[in-house]
Structure 1
Amino acid sequence: MALTNSLIPTLYLTRTGLLEPLGQSQVMAYLRGLSRDYQVTLITYEKDRDWADTSRMEAARRECESYGIHWLPQRFRFRPRIIAPTIDMIRMARLVAGSVKQKKIKLIHARSYIPAAVALFVKKTLGVPFIFDMRALWPEELIAAGRLKRNSIMHWFIKRAERACLEKAAAVVSLTHSAVEHLKEIYPKTRGQRFSVIPTCADLDRFTPADETPENRTFGCLGTVLSGWFRIDWLASFFNLASNKDPELSFELTTLDDPEKVRAALGPELQKRVTIESSFPDQVQNILRRQIASVMFFTQGLSKLGSSPTRMGEILGCGIPVVANDGVGDVAKIIKDYRVGVVIRKPEEMANAWDELQLLLSEPDLATRCRNAAEDIFSLKAGTDSYRALYTVILGNRGSVPPSNT
């Protein structure tokens, strides 16, 4: 797609690599649509293994060129652990400032915290507005992962930067409504900020319902279960209860985790009833279509308020209900609002949840409700339209001013 003088120059800044799965599904997927209306400069940080894959790097360059996107890939540095991000920020600030001057950038779209801190500096020095696309609650995730101590000097510094970015951004994007409410509570000055909730998108052209009802009754679970963020003990409890209730039921875990470690975590009672296999990304939808329900239980707490599980959009897109716990972003609200699954607050509720799920599975319009929920919340089109609306109001383009969708 050739650039024209009518396109407004914008800059998209992210430390996620374009060659990473998230770079393709959560960065490039949106930019393909936005590049029709904006002249996009894209700065990403690529891992060494991706730099080494010259054929994929070249293919990514060609794709960016075809959409009129000026791609400036940088090398991602892991170490020294604390110094590397600091050095990256300094280099990033120079690169961004140079691009702003050279390309006459009118808006910076900063994905996550470090890019937002750089965009804040550029706003103060060059006056260019920025979007703080914060994704999750990064400080809380660092604490939960044991990489940051609450009330430490580093925690104080990150929280101060978070507050400044939230207050000074032209708009803030969050994955969940739950995170927005939390931020407004702890940072009262942000209550007048323009927030937009845009969950992780799913490829709903690929994740579609099966043409026919599956012959076998299979419960599934998609994605990692050994990450530390997943409650595999809850999964084992629910699968054990389900196997006792329905001897014909089978269970299927689609994960890259070590099968032997997963089996050990699930316990001996499920050994013969559970299939544990990995899958190529482009085959996941075929696995989901042969299941009648999918189960996902995550750890709870502040760190999960900003989480939007990508797997949920993919599962619902295939017309399949979800069994999940509350306290994870907007998961429980979506399930209840659209009646597309069962929410469990504590293990003692699993027997009631099983009964509720059986009634749900008997409803003839369940698959349609699941698909509608996916299209309303997780579709690429809905996400791209929301980003385009933010760009429009910030840059003062013609058209109505969209209200905050919180």
Structure 2
Amino acid sequence: MTDPLGQSQVLPYLFGLVKKGHQITLLSFEKEQRYKQQKKQIESLLAEQNIDWKPLPYTASPPIISSIKDFREMKKTAATLYKNKGFDITHCRGYLPAMCGNYLKKRFGVKLLFDMRGFWPDERVEGGIWNKSNPIFKIVYYYFKRQEKKLFKSADAVVSLTHAGKKIIEKWPYMQTIKTNISVIPCCADFNHFAEEKINISERDQIKNELGIQSKDFIISYLGSIGSWYMLPEMLDFFKVFLKIKSEAKLLFISHDNPEMIQREAKEKDIPTDKILIKGAQRDMVPTILSLSNVSLFFIKPVYSKQASSPTKLAEILGMGIPVIANAGVGDLDDLFNHHFPGFLVNEFTNEEYYKAIDVFLNSDLDKVQLRSTSLKYFSLEDGINKYNLIYNQL
């Protein structure tokens, strides 16, 4: 919960579900450094909502062994919590938590909500984390694919982030005999937070001065960490093309990633250093920094597993009334963009495609109200909370 994703994609939903009358116990694994920095803040937020938080230390190494250790601790702690509280449902975000939830279901009869968050085993392979040419990782991959099948058979309800992911799941042979209801709830945004009212003008001016942004500059932003899935070289190639059309453009990374890594990649692309801006931001400052953007950009590897992914940043950026250029082949982006923002998706990572998308963008007449209303239509936090509440009540 001390990670940015926990604060945007877990806590707001839980706060809303508490208001619907649900009593919640939250079991999470926390990275040591972030936990030290934000423990008091998160404890205070959860205490205000009467949510009982049980944080456990996350271990990252050695690979596999650390995961086994954490999983055992998760099962032990969850079983103890059940004996003390006797809850009705385990809402499990991801595969390992769902395996723990399945254990509780078999042992105590607790209903299982499998909130899958994507095709996790396939993500690990396609993200280069599990190399199937290594016999150990090959065994691990197929073990989790078997667990995936067990979870779908056992779950009382399933949540997919995308309609594209749901369609894929429903075509799997073993799903033809399973009647589990699959709901679609994308990554939503808190539009009370991602709103013009949250822009701090004095802090924005201070950040502009700090980054050397002039009134003539045209700002393309990238929001979030880069990680395994976001295609930094291709985004830099796109920016090089953009520079040929608008020489006053600058690329702003709103990210806690290593600035040296980003600058090194940009240098390899012969992009001038002063054209790359990098600024980390805590969640409360993101709307203010995002407001510097004329347009935002992200490219995600268009692989099989990403059909089940819903980029959190999309809802947040559109909610701020900022247009987005992205790539096809990811989750439900194709349907959304083709319907509302035709031409803003890059179909291939080529200069020709970049020029086409840039031309469409520069000649578009999208306004902030239209962009925000589209985000509200598809990614409203209230809608997400209501859908989870419906599942809870049905279970």
Deviations 1:190-227 (A, max 9, x none): 66321122222323223225999x96462413235753
Pairing 1:350–2:354 present = yes
In structure 2, C-alpha distance between the alignment counterparts of 1:142 and 1:324, rounded to whole Å: 22
In structure 2, C-alpha distance between the alignment counterparts of 1:251 and 1:49, rounded to whole Å: 29
Q: How does 1:200-211 map onto structure 2 within 5 Å?
A: 200-209=187-196
In structure 1, C-alpha distance between the alignment counterparts of 2:257 and 2:28, rounded to whole Å: 28
How much does 1:105 deviate?
Answer: 1.2
Deviations 1:329-382 (A, max 9, x none): 22222222222760111113222222222232x34xx32221012212223222
User: 1:147 is matched with which residue: 106, 129, 150?
Assistant: 129
How much does 1:167 deviate?
Answer: 2.1
In structure 1, C-alpha distance between the alignment counterparts of 2:249 and 2:78, rounded to whole Å: 55
> Cα 1:261–1:91, aligned 2, differ >3 Å: closer, same or farther?
closer
In structure 1, C-alpha distance between the alignment counterparts of 2:33 and 2:254, rounded to whole Å: 25
Pairing 1:115–2:118 present = no
> Cα 1:149–1:245, aligned 2, differ >3 Å: closer, same or farther?
closer
Q: What residue number does 1:26 align with? A: 9
User: 2:156 is matched with which residue: 163, 166, 170?
Assistant: 170
In structure 2, C-alpha distance between the alignment counterparts of 1:108 and 1:83, rounded to whole Å: 25
Pairing 1:262–2:265 present = no
Q: How does 1:192-341 map onto structure 2 within 5 Å?
A: 192-209=179-196, 216=216, 218-223=218-223, 227-267=227-267, 269-271=270-272, 274-281=275-282, 282-339=284-341
Asked if structure 2 preserves the Cα contact closer than 8 Å seen for 1:200 and 1:310, the reply is yes
Q: What residue number does 2:211 align with? A: none
How much does 1:38 deviate?
Answer: 0.9
Q: What residue number does 1:11 align with? A: none
In structure 2, C-alpha distance between the alignment counterparts of 1:294 and 1:136, rounded to whole Å: 24
In structure 1, C-alpha distance between the alignment counterparts of 2:253 and 2:61, rounded to whole Å: 35
In structure 2, C-alpha distance between the alignment counterparts of 1:136 and 1:130, rounded to whole Å: 17
> Cα 1:224–1:204, aligned 2, differ >3 Å: closer, same or farther?
closer
In structure 2, C-alpha distance between the alignment counterparts of 1:161 and 1:98, rounded to whole Å: 23
Which one is further off, 111-120 or 242-251?
A: 242-251
Letter in 1 for 2:354: M
Deviations 1:1-41 (A, max 9, x none): xxxxxxxxxxxxxxxxx222222222221111111311111
> SS of 1:173's equivalent?
strand
Q: What residue number does 1:91 align with? A: 73
Runs of 5+ unmatched residues, structure 1: 1-17, 395-406
> Cα 1:58–1:227, aligned 2, differ >3 Å: closer, same or farther?
closer
In structure 1, C-alpha distance between the alignment counterparts of 2:296 and 2:142, rounded to whole Å: 40
> SS of 1:333's equivalent?
helix
Deviations 1:204-257 (A, max 9, x none): 223225999x96462413235753422223223322222222334444333333
> Cα 1:97–1:377, aligned 2, differ >3 Å: closer, same or farther?
same
How much does 1:114 deviate?
Answer: 0.7
Letter in 2 for 1:279: G
How much does 1:301 deviate?
Answer: 0.6
Asked if structure 2 preserves the Cα contact closer than 8 Å seen for 1:174 and 1:306, the reply is yes
How much does 1:50 deviate?
Answer: 4.5
Across the aligned residues of Structure 1 and Structure 2, the Cα RMSD in angstroms comes to 2.7
> Cα 1:227–1:91, aligned 2, differ >3 Å: closer, same or farther?
closer
> Cα 1:215–1:167, aligned 2, differ >3 Å: closer, same or farther?
farther
Which one is further off, 253-262 or 376-385?
A: 253-262
Asked if structure 2 preserves the Cα contact closer than 8 Å seen for 1:43 and 1:71, the reply is yes
Asked if structure 2 preserves the Cα contact closer than 8 Å seen for 1:19 and 1:60, the reply is yes
Q: What residue number does 1:77 align with? A: 59
| Sequence identity percentage | 29
> SS of 1:89's equivalent?
helix
In structure 1, C-alpha distance between the alignment counterparts of 2:109 and 2:124, rounded to whole Å: 31
Asked if structure 2 preserves the Cα contact closer than 8 Å seen for 1:316 and 1:370, the reply is yes
- TM, length-normalised to structure 2: 0.85
In structure 1, C-alpha distance between the alignment counterparts of 2:129 and 2:235, rounded to whole Å: 27
Asked if structure 2 preserves the Cα contact closer than 8 Å seen for 1:129 and 1:170, the reply is yes
Q: What residue number does 1:367 align with? A: 368
> Cα 1:34–1:277, aligned 2, differ >3 Å: closer, same or farther?
same
